[in-house]
Amino acid sequence: MSIFYFRPPLLTQAKYAGIEKDDVMLEKMRNRLKMLPDRQRRLLAYRYGLKSMECKTISETAAFFNMMEKFIEEIERGALKTLRDGMDDGKII
């Protein structure tokens, strides 16, 4: 009786490092999102479909939150700047 073993392909160090880096970046992004004020966090979640997996336009987002498009853009710009600045802070998480 022969037993067949399935061996997954070996990951090279470069591929493995890339997977770890992606996981760290996602975890860091989640942590940064938690630090945003509630309004910014809800707006980004709705606009970019973080929960529903369906992105919305500025017009749809403005209608949903009952705000002017220009104000939505300002809130979004500030939230994205905060997230972007936090990703390059040199910390792992």
Measured from the Cβ of residue 82, the count of other Cβ atoms closer than 10 Å reads 16
CA distances from 77 to 4, 7, 43, 72, 83 (A): 55, 47, 11, 8, 10
**Is the sign of the CA dihedral 84, 93, 27, 19 positive or negative?**
positive
Residues 66-91: tens digit of each pLDDT: 999 999 999 999 999 988 887 776 66
All structural domains of the chain, each given as residue ranges with its CATH number in brackets, are 31-86 (1.10.10.10)
Residues 28-74: tens digit of each pLDDT: 888 888 889 999 999 999 998 888 888 999 999 999 999 999 999 99
